[in-house]
Structure 1
Protein backbone atom coordinates (compact mmCIF):
# COMPACT_ATOMS: atom_id res chain seq x y z
CA UNK A 1 0.00 0.00 0.00
CA UNK A 2 1.17 3.50 -0.80
CA UNK A 3 0.83 5.79 2.27
CA UNK A 4 -1.40 8.86 1.98
CA UNK A 5 -2.93 11.45 4.26
CA UNK A 6 -6.32 10.16 5.34
CA UNK A 7 -7.49 13.28 7.15
CA UNK A 8 -6.57 16.52 8.85
CA UNK A 9 -8.34 17.79 11.96
CA UNK A 10 -9.18 21.49 12.22
CA UNK A 11 -10.97 23.57 14.79
CA UNK A 12 -13.36 26.07 13.21
CA UNK A 13 -15.70 28.75 14.52
CA UNK A 14 -18.92 27.43 12.90
CA UNK A 15 -19.23 24.01 11.27
CA UNK A 16 -21.89 25.17 8.83
CA UNK A 17 -19.70 28.00 7.49
CA UNK A 18 -16.76 25.68 6.81
CA UNK A 19 -19.00 22.98 5.32
CA UNK A 20 -20.52 25.62 3.01
CA UNK A 21 -17.06 26.87 1.97
CA UNK A 22 -15.77 23.37 1.21
CA UNK A 23 -18.88 22.27 -0.67
CA UNK A 24 -18.84 25.51 -2.68
CA UNK A 25 -15.25 24.84 -3.70
CA UNK A 26 -15.65 21.08 -4.11
CA UNK A 27 -19.31 20.06 -4.51
CA UNK A 28 -18.26 16.38 -4.51
CA UNK A 29 -17.37 16.62 -0.80
CA UNK A 30 -20.09 15.09 1.33
CA UNK A 31 -20.67 15.19 5.05
CA UNK A 32 -19.73 11.70 6.19
CA UNK A 33 -20.89 12.29 9.75
CA UNK A 34 -22.01 15.04 12.13
CA UNK A 35 -21.32 14.36 15.78
CA UNK A 36 -21.77 15.92 19.18
CA UNK A 37 -19.09 15.81 21.86
CA UNK A 38 -20.12 17.09 25.31
CA UNK A 39 -18.15 20.33 24.68
CA UNK A 40 -18.39 20.81 20.88
CA UNK A 41 -19.93 19.64 17.62
CA UNK A 42 -17.81 17.92 14.99
CA UNK A 43 -18.02 16.74 11.38
CA UNK A 44 -16.17 14.59 8.87
CA UNK A 45 -16.45 15.94 5.31
CA UNK A 46 -14.77 14.65 2.15
CA UNK A 47 -14.80 11.56 -0.01
CA UNK A 48 -14.88 7.84 0.70
CA UNK A 49 -11.08 7.78 0.93
CA UNK A 50 -10.06 11.06 2.53
CA UNK A 51 -11.71 13.72 4.65
CA UNK A 52 -11.36 16.75 6.84
CA UNK A 53 -12.28 16.38 10.49
CA UNK A 54 -13.82 19.63 11.72
CA UNK A 55 -14.69 20.52 15.25
CA UNK A 56 -16.20 23.72 16.55
CA UNK A 57 -14.06 25.87 18.77
CA UNK A 58 -14.91 25.98 22.45
CA UNK A 59 -16.19 29.53 22.98
CA UNK A 60 -13.54 32.19 23.47
CA UNK A 61 -13.25 35.81 22.46
CA UNK A 62 -9.93 35.90 20.66
CA UNK A 63 -7.57 33.69 18.70
CA UNK A 64 -3.93 34.64 19.24
CA UNK A 65 -2.23 33.32 16.12
CA UNK A 66 -0.63 34.96 13.12
CA UNK A 67 -0.50 32.58 10.10
CA UNK A 68 3.00 31.81 8.79
CA UNK A 69 4.51 33.25 12.00
CA UNK A 70 3.05 31.23 14.89
CA UNK A 71 2.65 27.48 15.39
CA UNK A 72 -0.32 25.90 13.65
CA UNK A 73 -1.70 25.17 10.21
CA UNK A 74 -1.01 27.84 7.59
CA UNK A 75 -3.19 26.39 4.83
CA UNK A 76 -4.76 23.15 3.66
CA UNK A 77 -4.04 22.01 0.08
CA UNK A 78 -6.68 20.18 -1.93
CA UNK A 79 -6.34 18.80 -5.47
CA UNK A 80 -9.17 19.67 -7.85
CA UNK A 81 -9.95 19.04 -11.53
CA UNK A 82 -10.49 22.68 -12.50
CA UNK A 83 -9.22 25.66 -10.47
CA UNK A 84 -11.06 28.10 -12.75
CA UNK A 85 -14.40 26.60 -11.73
CA UNK A 86 -13.41 26.55 -8.06
CA UNK A 87 -12.38 30.23 -8.28
CA UNK A 88 -15.67 31.18 -9.97
CA UNK A 89 -17.78 29.36 -7.36
CA UNK A 90 -15.87 30.83 -4.40
CA UNK A 91 -15.82 34.39 -5.76
CA UNK A 92 -19.54 34.16 -6.59
CA UNK A 93 -20.20 33.08 -3.00
CA UNK A 94 -18.24 36.09 -1.67
CA UNK A 95 -15.06 34.41 -0.45
CA UNK A 96 -11.78 36.34 -0.51
CA UNK A 97 -8.87 35.19 -2.66
CA UNK A 98 -5.20 35.52 -1.75
CA UNK A 99 -3.73 36.80 -5.00
CA UNK A 100 -0.17 35.60 -4.45
CA UNK A 101 1.82 34.61 -7.56
CA UNK A 102 1.56 30.88 -8.28
CA UNK A 103 2.72 30.49 -11.89
CA UNK A 104 4.08 27.05 -12.73
CA UNK A 105 4.04 25.10 -16.03
CA UNK A 106 2.80 21.84 -14.45
CA UNK A 107 0.18 23.07 -11.99
CA UNK A 108 -2.28 25.86 -11.33
CA UNK A 109 -2.91 26.96 -7.76
CA UNK A 110 -5.30 29.36 -6.08
CA UNK A 111 -5.66 30.31 -2.43
CA UNK A 112 -8.86 31.39 -0.68
CA UNK A 113 -9.87 32.30 2.87
CA UNK A 114 -12.96 30.85 4.50
CA UNK A 115 -15.09 32.87 6.94
CA UNK A 116 -12.79 31.93 9.84
CA UNK A 117 -9.77 33.31 7.96
CA UNK A 118 -8.37 29.82 7.33
CA UNK A 119 -6.46 29.73 4.05
CA UNK A 120 -7.16 26.90 1.58
CA UNK A 121 -5.02 26.03 -1.45
CA UNK A 122 -6.62 24.42 -4.50
CA UNK A 123 -4.26 22.80 -7.03
CA UNK A 124 -4.96 21.54 -10.52
CA UNK A 125 -2.12 19.43 -11.87
CA UNK A 126 -1.45 19.80 -15.59
CA UNK A 127 0.80 16.75 -15.83
CA UNK A 128 0.68 13.15 -14.63
CA UNK A 129 4.48 13.01 -14.49
CA UNK A 130 5.57 13.18 -10.82
CA UNK A 131 8.84 14.89 -11.80
CA UNK A 132 6.88 17.73 -13.39
CA UNK A 133 4.12 17.85 -10.75
CA UNK A 134 6.66 18.03 -7.93
CA UNK A 135 9.10 20.44 -9.60
CA UNK A 136 10.24 23.14 -7.17
CA UNK A 137 12.74 24.85 -9.47
CA UNK A 138 10.31 27.63 -10.45
Structure 2
Protein backbone atom coordinates (compact mmCIF):
# COMPACT_ATOMS: atom_id res chain seq x y z
CA UNK A 1 0.00 0.00 0.00
CA UNK A 2 1.33 3.43 -0.85
CA UNK A 3 -0.12 6.71 0.35
CA UNK A 4 1.25 9.71 -1.51
CA UNK A 5 2.17 12.95 0.20
CA UNK A 6 1.62 16.42 -1.23
CA UNK A 7 -1.57 15.44 -3.07
CA UNK A 8 -4.19 17.98 -4.03
CA UNK A 9 -7.79 18.05 -2.90
CA UNK A 10 -9.59 16.82 0.17
CA UNK A 11 -10.21 13.32 1.50
CA UNK A 12 -13.76 12.03 1.21
CA UNK A 13 -16.24 12.91 3.95
CA UNK A 14 -16.14 9.93 6.33
CA UNK A 15 -19.63 10.69 7.64
CA UNK A 16 -21.18 9.94 4.24
CA UNK A 17 -21.01 7.26 1.58
CA UNK A 18 -18.97 8.93 -1.16
CA UNK A 19 -16.74 6.96 -3.49
CA UNK A 20 -13.15 6.74 -2.30
CA UNK A 21 -11.05 5.28 0.45
CA UNK A 22 -13.25 4.76 3.51
CA UNK A 23 -10.49 3.54 5.82
CA UNK A 24 -7.69 1.04 6.11
CA UNK A 25 -7.21 -1.43 8.93
CA UNK A 26 -4.55 -3.18 10.94
CA UNK A 27 -4.99 -6.30 13.04
CA UNK A 28 -3.69 -6.16 16.61
CA UNK A 29 -3.48 -8.80 19.34
CA UNK A 30 -4.08 -6.26 22.12
CA UNK A 31 -6.46 -3.47 21.20
CA UNK A 32 -6.40 -1.94 24.70
CA UNK A 33 -2.62 -1.49 24.52
CA UNK A 34 -2.95 -0.04 20.98
CA UNK A 35 -5.54 2.48 22.16
CA UNK A 36 -3.37 3.47 25.13
CA UNK A 37 -0.30 4.04 22.91
CA UNK A 38 -2.23 6.13 20.39
CA UNK A 39 -3.93 8.23 23.08
CA UNK A 40 -0.55 8.77 24.78
CA UNK A 41 0.74 10.01 21.41
CA UNK A 42 -2.08 12.58 21.31
CA UNK A 43 -4.65 10.86 19.10
CA UNK A 44 -8.33 10.60 20.01
CA UNK A 45 -10.77 7.86 19.09
CA UNK A 46 -12.91 9.04 16.17
CA UNK A 47 -15.27 6.02 16.29
CA UNK A 48 -15.37 3.44 19.08
CA UNK A 49 -16.47 0.67 16.70
CA UNK A 50 -19.47 -1.61 16.91
CA UNK A 51 -20.15 -4.06 19.71
CA UNK A 52 -19.46 -7.55 18.42
CA UNK A 53 -19.00 -10.95 20.04
CA UNK A 54 -16.17 -12.02 17.75
CA UNK A 55 -14.06 -8.89 17.40
CA UNK A 56 -13.26 -5.49 18.87
CA UNK A 57 -12.45 -2.52 16.69
CA UNK A 58 -11.73 1.16 17.05
CA UNK A 59 -11.05 4.00 14.59
CA UNK A 60 -8.61 6.90 14.75
CA UNK A 61 -8.09 9.67 12.18
CA UNK A 62 -4.50 10.34 11.17
CA UNK A 63 -3.10 13.87 10.66
CA UNK A 64 -3.89 13.72 6.92
CA UNK A 65 -7.54 12.88 7.54
CA UNK A 66 -7.37 9.16 6.81
CA UNK A 67 -9.46 6.96 9.05
CA UNK A 68 -7.47 4.03 10.44
CA UNK A 69 -9.19 1.01 11.98
CA UNK A 70 -7.55 -1.32 14.49
CA UNK A 71 -9.15 -4.76 14.91
CA UNK A 72 -8.64 -7.47 17.51
CA UNK A 73 -10.30 -10.73 16.51
CA UNK A 74 -11.76 -12.74 19.38
CA UNK A 75 -12.44 -15.80 17.24
CA UNK A 76 -10.21 -17.93 15.05
CA UNK A 77 -13.17 -18.92 12.86
CA UNK A 78 -13.17 -16.93 9.58
CA UNK A 79 -16.94 -17.37 9.37
CA UNK A 80 -17.39 -15.43 12.64
CA UNK A 81 -14.76 -12.69 12.33
CA UNK A 82 -16.71 -10.29 10.14
CA UNK A 83 -20.29 -11.12 11.03
CA UNK A 84 -22.42 -8.05 11.64
CA UNK A 85 -24.51 -8.27 14.76
CA UNK A 86 -27.78 -6.40 14.91
TM-score of the superposition, structure 1-length normalised?
A: 0.54
Q: Secondary structure of the equivalent of 2:3?
A: strand
- Does 2:36 align with 1:88? yes
Q: Which runs of 5+ in 1 are unaligned?
A: 1-51
Tell me, in whole angstroms, the C-alpha distance in 2 between the residues paired with 1:87 and 1:124: 11
Q: How many pairs were matched up?
A: 85
Bigger shift: residues 70-79 or 82-91: 70-79
Question: Using CA pairs below 8 Å that are at least 6 residues apart, which structure has the higher relative contact order?
Answer: 2
CA RMSD of aligned residues (A): 1.9
Q: Which runs of 5+ in 2 are unaligned?
A: none
Bigger radius of gyration, 1 or 2?
1
Aligned partner of 2:10 in structure 1 is: 63
Tell me, in whole angstroms, the C-alpha distance in 2 between the residues paired with 1:120 and 1:92: 17
Please identify which structure carries the higher strand content.
1
Cα-to-partner distance string for 1:86-121 (whole Å, 9 max, x where unaligned): 100100001121234411111010100111121101
- Structure 1 stretches of 4+ with a deviation exceeding 4 A read none
TM-score of the superposition, structure 2-length normalised?
A: 0.82
